């Protein structure tokens, strides 16, 4: 018995919405309605189920419409759907990744990087203009400490060749002496010189920043991520003083007994909710990274510079309060666009370790996933010789990381597992890549020609219909993800597509079938591969063609 394509629940359309409407009444109403409805060129069959009316689409029309659309639109399939026709094209600024120079690039930064990249990819695909910003932790007292550390332990050559590693080592070393009064004084002096634009100090700081960005860019490139702008706290430390003055002029800044500067955010103005924007010694809150007045300066500056429709911040959920406060203060300052700002938060990843221990640098994760994948590929019996095993291992490994990360709600924490992520069977990125490579080699084997005038009417088998029905729903999934910015809708869609395609690949052989049938099946598999590749690219995965 085949499954209907569409179903209408009678309860949802009857006037009598009271729950005591009996099941048999509903069934009766369903039967009556089904009898009154007529089939047409699109609907082939109408039947009643338990309280539902079921519609089956003309199979030939289904095959023809879906396959023509996919092959015609190519990578634009789904995006061109009328679901998006009323959505206005917008300009969005997305701030993501945002690591601290000289500190660990922890797993939270990795999450922010891949989630931000996904949101940017999705928005671009849907025709919006996107500016990708990386807001670096490149200012503050820790640079006083780092500067002193570098004068003691630094090495110009190492700074050039591996800046992130070297600055981290220097920072760890000088931190051991951080409590020492003399070190403290030197660090304060160094940072004061920085703030006063002392040439020599500034030039050293600039090297820290420039070399770090250079290395970050190289690593981001391995991830398939790029930024339009490397911003940072250093850009706003002066502008932020103006913000404090504005807050004061507007009567929004209050001083506590201890001299801390706060903004009252409560409805009743009883300080039941407030945000701290300045420490009592007049310096900003550099203790944490959530330096509210720096963020205020950055937000206002971006809005003036880019005049965008929306600003999206991608960070872990521990910063939710900080961003709620930020948006509230902007509104109090009279910036109505604060309502169009959004914080996309995500949960924590536990247990991501490399063989050498704790993850310190993003590169460690990339190297680890590549080497584990190479090992798996080498031991797999089905592996053909691939042209560039390193490159393939990296792309497949990245797919594994991304799918493991994107399978659930972004806000939930999850336990990371290398073994689970890298399984070749089951719902993993490896399985998606494997399916894509298999479908690709099927096309290669059978001439790879442009399929035109194919008689797709012969695609009547249930396994072919399942793939077609699923392809038809791609736009709905894109629409859902565009609404809530959650990648999981796309992930589960692609995993199902891969399972359906794998089944069809077994039961609907191309080789040895009559030419007309072979062509039609090839056309079906090509459409499945195109949609699979499109969805993978949105998630930030580069599809591989051999594996």
DSSP-derived secondary structure for 254-299 = EE-TT--EEEE--TTSSSSSEEEEE-TTS----SSS--HHHHHHHH
Residues 75-91, mean pLDDT to the nearest whole number: 94
Mean pLDDT check: name the lowest of 166-170, 277-281, 541-545: 277-281
Residues 131-145, mean pLDDT to the nearest whole number: 92
User: Residue 285's pLDDT is what?
Assistant: 45
User: Residue 190's pLDDT is what?
Assistant: 95
Q: Where are the domains of the chain?
A: 6-57, 62-81+381-539, 138-227
Question: 3-class DSSP state for residue 191?
Answer: helix
Residues 311-328, mean pLDDT to the nearest whole number: 94
In the structure, what pLDDT confidence band is assigned to residue 276 with cuts at 50, 70 and 90? confident
Residues 529-535, mean pLDDT to the nearest whole number: 98
User: Residue 80's pLDDT is what?
Assistant: 93
Beta strands across the sheet bearing 261-264:
253-255, 261-264, 274-278
Do residues 132 and 118 make contact, with C-beta atoms less than 8 angstroms apart? no
C-alpha–C-alpha distance, residues 116 and 342, integer Å: 12
Average pLDDT of the chain to the nearest whole number: 90
Residue 288 pLDDT > 60: no
Angle (nearest 5°) at CA 336 between 332 and 337: 125
Residues, the chain: 547
In the structure, what pLDDT confidence band is assigned to residue 518 with cuts at 50, 70 and 90? very high
User: Residue 344's pLDDT is what?
Assistant: 97
Catalytically active residues, by annotation: 103, 106, 109
CATH class as words, domain 62-81+381-539: mainly alpha
User: Residue 456's pLDDT is what?
Assistant: 86
User: Residue 281's pLDDT is what?
Assistant: 56
Residues 62-91, mean pLDDT to the nearest whole number: 94
Q: Higher pLDDT residue, 239 or 488? A: 488
The pair of structure tokens assigned to 386 is 């691939």
In the structure, what pLDDT confidence band is assigned to residue 224 with cuts at 50, 70 and 90? very high
User: Residue 386's pLDDT is what?
Assistant: 83
Residues 290-319, mean pLDDT to the nearest whole number: 91
Residue 287 pLDDT > 60: no
In the structure, what pLDDT confidence band is assigned to residue 22 with cuts at 50, 70 and 90? confident
In the structure, what pLDDT confidence band is assigned to residue 16 with cuts at 50, 70 and 90? low
pTM comes to 0.92
Residue 261 pLDDT > 90: no
Buried/exposed 18-29: b ≥16 CB within 10 Å, e otherwise: eeeeeeeebbeb
Mean pLDDT check: name the lowest of 292-301, 307-316, 496-505: 292-301
Residues 483-509, mean pLDDT to the nearest whole number: 97
Mean pLDDT check: name the lowest of 7-21, 45-59, 224-238, 374-388: 7-21
In the structure, what pLDDT confidence band is assigned to residue 286 with cuts at 50, 70 and 90? very low
Residue 359 pLDDT > 70: yes
User: Residue 525's pLDDT is what?
Assistant: 96
The pair of structure tokens assigned to 79 is 């995006």
């Amino acid at each position: 018995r085949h499954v209907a394509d569409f179903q209408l629940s009678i309860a949802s359309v009857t006037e009598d919405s009271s729950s005591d409407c009996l099941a048999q009444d509903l069934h009766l109403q369903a039967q009556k309605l089904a009898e009154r409805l007529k089939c047409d060129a699109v609907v082939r069959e109408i039947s009643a189920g338990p309280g539902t009316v079921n519609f089956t689409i003309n199979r030939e029309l289904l095959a023809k419409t879906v396959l023509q659309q996919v092959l015609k639109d190519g990578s634009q399939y789904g995006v061109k759907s009328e679901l998006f026709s009323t959505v206005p094209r917008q300009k969005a600024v997305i701030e993501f990744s945002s690591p601290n120079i000289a500190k660990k690039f922890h797993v939270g930064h990795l999450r922010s990087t891949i989630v931000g990249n996904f949101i940017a990819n999705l928005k671009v695909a849907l025709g919006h203009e996107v500016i990708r910003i990386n807001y670096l932790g490149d200012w503050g007292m820790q640079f006083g400490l780092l500067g002193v550390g570098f004068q003691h332990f630094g090495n110009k050559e190492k700074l050039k060749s591996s800046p992130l590693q070297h600055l981290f080592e220097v920072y760890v070393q000088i931190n051991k002496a951080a409590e020492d009064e003399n070190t403290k004084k030197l660090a304060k002096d160094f940072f004061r010189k920085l703030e006063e634009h002392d040439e020599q100090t500034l030039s050293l700081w600039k090297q820290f920043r420039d070399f770090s960005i250079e290395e970050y860019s190289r690593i981001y490139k391995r991830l398939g991520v790029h930024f339009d702008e490397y911003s940072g706290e250093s850009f706003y430390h002066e502008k932020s003083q103006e913000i404090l003055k504005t807050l004061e002029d507007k009567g929004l800044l209050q001083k506590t007994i201890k001299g801390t500067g706060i903004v009252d955010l409560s409805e009743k103005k009883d300080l039941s909710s407030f945000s701290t924007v300045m420490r009592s010694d007049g310096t900003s809150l550099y203790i944490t990274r959530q330096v509210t007045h720096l963020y205020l300066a950055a937000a206002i500056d971006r809005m003036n510079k880019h005049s965008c429709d929306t600003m999206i911040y991608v960070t872990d959920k521990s910063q939710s309060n900080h961003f709620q406060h930020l948006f509230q203060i902007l509104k109090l300052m009279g910036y109505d666009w604060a309502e169009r700002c959004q914080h996309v938060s995500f949960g924590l990843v536990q247990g991501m370790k490399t063989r050498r221990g704790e993850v310190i640098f993003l590169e460690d994760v990339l190297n680890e996933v590549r080497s584990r994948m190479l090992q798996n590929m080498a031991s797999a019996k089905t592996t053909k010789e691939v042209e560039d095993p390193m490159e393939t291992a990296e792309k497949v490994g990245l797919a594994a990381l991304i799918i493991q990360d994107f399978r659930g709600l972004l806000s939930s924490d999850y336990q990371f597992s290398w073994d689970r992520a890298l399984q070749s069977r089951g719902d993993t990125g490896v399985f998606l890549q494997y399916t894509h490579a298999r479908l690709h080699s099927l096309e290669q084997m059978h001439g790879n020609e442009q399929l035109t005038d194919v008689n797709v009417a012969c695609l009547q088998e249930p396994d072919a219909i399942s793939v077609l029905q699923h392809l038809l729903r791609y736009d709905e999934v894109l629409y859902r993800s565009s609404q809530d910015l959650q990648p999981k809708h796309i992930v589960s869609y692609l995993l199902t597509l891969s399972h359906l395609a794998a089944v069809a690949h077994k039961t609907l052989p191309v080789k040895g079938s009559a030419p007309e049938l072979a062509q039609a099946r090839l056309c079906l598999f090509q459409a499945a591969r195109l949609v699979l590749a499109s969805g993978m690219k949105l998630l930030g995965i580069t599809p591989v063609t051999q594996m």
